[in-house]
Amino acid sequence: MANAIFKADQVMQTQGHKHIRTFRDTKTGSGEVLIRSFCGMCGANVFLGHDEGDYRIVATGTLDEEPGWVPRHEKYPGGKRPWIEGIKTQPSKL
């Protein structure tokens, strides 16, 4: 699953409101509670976030339009399957 992180005020759900269900995940690796939002019809992940968080993690497969940017880095590459190739990221600004 590919996700992108956005500031919460940059995210707008445009359809399917009545199908979104949420789950408070208390069994996370960090110990922090995550609010997981998913489609109640098909079970697809839609959003992840914290109750008071400034950011929203969005499943990129749910985006209506291309965001117009290139990822800056890849998170948790050790957990991906061997058949998934690395993503192209922006060059480091060192």
Q: What is the pTM of this model?
A: 0.67
6: pLDDT confidence band, cut at 50, 70 and 90?
confident
CA distance 39 to 14: 14
92 pLDDT above the threshold of 60: no
CA distance 36 to 17: 15
- The most confident of the ranges 20-24, 26-30, 49-53 is 20-24
56 pLDDT above the threshold of 60: yes
CA distance 9 to 13: 11
Provide, rounded to the nearest whole percent, the portion of the chain with pLDDT above 90.
18
CA distance 73 to 92: 9
**Cα 41 to the center of its chain, rounded Å:** 19
